[in-house]
Structure 1
C-alpha cells in the first residue's frame, strides 16, 4: 500500500484544513495525515453507538503500520497510543511519547491513510509529588512532539490525591486535546472500582469545569498476559457508566488482552465505552507468536510461547530473542522488554518478513474493529464531527453542574475520607 494514486474526498480535504490541532500543523505543515484530537474519535464512536475504537499500543513499528492499514480497510477512526511504561522516560520500547506522532504521520502519508487518527499518551502515571513536578515539564514536551490526547493516571494514589493530581496537571493539557482519567488501578479482580469512587473523581473534576472524554476503571482486567478468564466485569462497568451519565463521560476499556470476543462485544453493547486498549496481543502477533481468541499467547508442551513457522520474525531472530530473555531469567510477562533491544534488528529483517509482521497485525486488528468492536465506518462520523465544529477543537461534551465551593482542597480530603473502598494488593501493576 502506498500513497501513489490516493484519492482524497472533498470532506477529507476540508477536515484536513481545519481538523488538525495546532501542534500537528506546526510539526507537519505539508502533511496529508488527518491526525486529530482524541475528542474526535470519542464523538465518532458515540455517534455510531455501542461501538469502540481500537487504541492500539504501538510497541513497535509493525504494530503501528498494521493497525493503520486495518483501520483504513475498515474505514474506521483509530487511536494509536503508547503508555508511560512502554514509551516514557524509562521505557522498554523504542517507540515513545516523543516519536509516535512522527511515526504515525510518516506512515499515513506513505500509505495514503485517510481515516482520522488520534495519537494518545496512555497511562501517564503519577505516583508521587516528584512525578507531579516532572509532569509539569514533560507533558508540554509531549504535546510539542505531536501528542493529541492524554490519560492522566493517578489511580495508584488514594482518591483525594488522585483527584488533586488531575486538577494540578490539567493546566498543562491543551483544552482541545482528548482527556482520559482513571479510578482504580488496573490489577484484575482485586481492588475493583466502585460507583462512589468514580463519582467522586468525575464530580470533583466537573466542579472545576474539567470534562474528561473517558474514564478508565479497574473493572476486572489486568495488563499484559492474562492467565485466567475472569476478565471484564460487564455489570459493574454498566452500573458505573449509568451513574456517570449526567456528566457525559465515555468509558475507556483497558486490558482487553485476556478477554474473549464475546465479552468485548458485550462491553460495547451494554456500556458507554468508546475506547478499547489492545497492547500485549499486538506485540505477540507481530512477532509471530500464536494467540487464541482471548489474545493470549499459546504455549507449547514445554511452557514456551508457540511461534508459528513462517509468520512474524524469522525463526533465527526468534531464537535469539528467546535466548536473550532466558539468559536474563525473564518470565513470560517480561518478554515485552524485548521491544527496546530488538527494534533495530526487527527493522533489519528482509522486506518480505517485515511485510508479514505488519500484515499479521492488520488482519487481527481488522477483525477486532469489524467483528468485535463494531467500529467499522466510523471515519466519516469523525470527519463530520470536525466539519460540524468547523475546528480541531470540539469542546467539552458536558457542562459544569457541581458547586466549586463544595470541592475545595479541604472538602476534597474530607469527602475522600468517607469513601469506603478496597484498593486491592500493593505492588507494581504498570504494563
Structure 2
C-alpha cells in the first residue's frame, strides 16, 4: 500500500474517539464497518478477528496483517477481560502502542466481542457501561443477548443501540454458540434483522450457532457451510454479513469454504493463537496436540522458556486448571512473559505472526484488503461509512407487543446449555 494512500486514509479515517485518545498517533484505527466493507469489496474474503489475550498475540497478528497487506480486527471478549491482562478498557491503548512501535499502516478495528446480556436485568448495566468502552477507543462491538429468548434478544439490541455510536462497527448474535445442537435458522436470523431494520439499525455482522463450539475442539462436525450460506442469503436485503465464531477446531478447507461460499467477513480466532504463542503444538484444525499423559505438547525451545512453561503447568495443576481453563494463565503470567529475553519474546510473537499470515493469505483470502479499506475511507472522506442498506421495514409492525407475538410463532430448538463465555 502506498504511503500517499495511507496518509490520506489516516487524515479522514480515524473515528473521533480514537483521535481524542491518541491525538499524535499514526495508527490507522478504524470502525469495524470499514473492515467489513473491504472484505465485501474484494469478494469471497474474510479477515481474522484475533482475540488479543496477551501482548504477544496482538503483536503477532498485527505483524501478519502488515505482511499480508490485510485489514484486520483485534478484539477481546467481555468475559476474557476477567482472566486476561487485555481488557475492554485497555485493548485500544495496546493496539495503538504496538501499531506505532511496529510501524503498522494497515487499517485495524478494535472490537469489544461478546458484550453479553444473559437476562433482561443486564440491559440497564449495559446501557450505562457501553459508552465507557468507546470512551477508551473501541471502534466496534458485538451485542450478545443470544442467551435470552428471541423477543428479548431483539429488544435488548434495540434498548442498548443508543449507547453505540452510529459510525461504529456493530455485531449481533442469535443462537448460543455451543456445538451441534440447537443450530440457528434462517427464520430467527431474519426475525432479528427485520426488527432491527424497523428500528433504524443495520448490524454489520451476525454471529450464528452454525455448528461450532468455543475453544479448541477435536470432535463434532464443525461449521455447517450450507446452513450458513442459507441464512446469509435470507439476510441479503438487510445488508448483514457473517461473523464466524469458534474458528479454532475447523480445518483450512472448511474455513476456505466459509470465505468463498458465504457472506462471512469476520472470523474469530482465540484459543489457537494463545497456544501458539506459548509454543504448544497444534494441528491444521488449530487443535492443541496432547501428550500420552493428557497434557499439552509444549515444543522445547519454542514459545515461552521451557522453565517458565514448567511453572505455568505447576500453577495450573495447583489450581486444577485443565484444557480450556489454561486461558486463565494469561493474567498471572503475562508480566513474566514480558520479562523474558528479547529472543524468546520475538519467537512468541513470531509464531503467531506465521500462523495468522497463513490464515489471512492462504485460507481467508484477505491479502491486499488494506488498500481497499483505505480507498473506501478516502472516497467517503470520513470515518463513517454509514449503513449498508436503507431502512424499509415498517416500525408499526415491530412494536414491543408485536415483537413478542412474532417471537412466539418461532419454533426452533435452542439446544442444551453450554459454556458461552468466550
TM over 0.5: yes
Q: What SS is found at the alignment partner of 2:61?
A: helix
CA distance in 2, matches of 1:247, 1:57: 27
Q: Deviations over 1:25-60 (max 9, x none)?
A: 001111110000000000000000000011000000
Q: What SS is found at the alignment partner of 1:55?
A: strand
- Runs of 4+ off more than 4 Å: none
CA distance in 2, matches of 1:274, 1:304: 34
Do structure 1's residue 65 and structure 2's residue 56 form an aligned pair? no
Match of 1:231 among 222, 230, 241: 222
Query: Could you state the TM-score of these two structures normalised by the residue count of structure 2?
Result: 0.99
Match of 2:370 among 364, 379, 382: 379
Match of 1:174 among 162, 165, 172: 165
> Is residue 57–residue 82 contact of structure 1 (8 Å, CA) maintained in 2?
yes
CA distance in 2, matches of 1:367, 1:49: 19
CA distance in 2, matches of 1:128, 1:229: 29
Query: Could you state the TM-score of these two structures normalised by the residue count of structure 1?
Result: 0.97
Where structure 2 has 5 or more consecutive residues not aligned to the other structure, the ranges are none
Q: Which residue number corresponds to residue 246 of structure 2?
A: 255
Q: Which residue number corresponds to residue 19 of structure 1?
A: 13
Where structure 1 has 5 or more consecutive residues not aligned to the other structure, the ranges are 1-6
> Is residue 180–residue 220 contact of structure 2 (8 Å, CA) maintained in 1?
no
Q: Which residue number corresponds to residue 349 of structure 1?
A: 340
CA distance in 2, matches of 1:401, 1:189: 34
> Is residue 59–residue 86 contact of structure 1 (8 Å, CA) maintained in 2?
yes
- Give 1:229 shift: 4.4
Do structure 1's residue 390 and structure 2's residue 381 form an aligned pair? yes
- Give 1:351 shift: 1.0
> Is residue 8–residue 114 contact of structure 1 (8 Å, CA) maintained in 2?
no
Q: Deviations over 1:359-411 (max 9, x none)?
A: 00000000000000000000000001101110000000011121110000000
Do structure 1's residue 30 and structure 2's residue 24 form an aligned pair? yes
Q: Which residue number corresponds to residue 323 of structure 1?
A: 314
CA distance in 2, matches of 1:227, 1:165: 34
Q: Which residue number corresponds to residue 417 of structure 2?
A: 426
Q: Which residue number corresponds to residue 308 of structure 1?
A: 299
- Give 1:341 shift: 1.0
Aligned positions of 1:287-302 closer than 5 A:
287-302=278-293
Q: Which residue number corresponds to residue 98 of structure 1?
A: 89
CA distance in 2, matches of 1:297, 1:70: 21
Q: What SS is found at the alignment partner of 2:165?
A: coil
Q: What SS is found at the alignment partner of 2:284?
A: coil
CA distance in 2, matches of 1:375, 1:84: 26
Q: Which residue number corresponds to residue 409 of structure 1?
A: 400
- Give 1:8 shift: 6.6
Q: Over aligned residue pairs, what C-alpha RMSD do you find?
A: 1.0
